[in-house]
Amino acid sequence: MKRLLLETRKQVVNSPHKCLSEDDYLKLTKRYRVILARGAKELPPIPPRQEGKRGRVAKSDAHNLWERFERHEATVLLFAKRPDVAFTNKRAERDLRMSQVKQKVSGCFRTRRYADAYCRISSYLQTMTYRGYNPMVAIQMALSGALYAERGE
150 pLDDT higher than 60:
no
Contact residues for 63 (Cβ-Cβ < 8 A; gap 6+):
43, 44, 46
pLDDT digits 0-9 by tens, 88-125: 877 666 666 666 666 666 667 777 888 788 888 888 88
Domain ranges (residues) in the chain: 2-81, 90-151
pLDDT at 88: 80
Q: What single DSSP character describes residue 46?
A: P
pLDDT digits 0-9 by tens, 6-24: 999 999 999 998 899 999 9
pLDDT digits 0-9 by tens, 25-56: 999 999 999 999 999 999 888 877 778 778 78
**H-type alpha helices, 22-89:** 22-42, 61-71, 73-76, 78-81
Contact residues for 80 (Cβ-Cβ < 8 A; gap 6+):
8, 11, 12, 19, 20, 24, 25, 28
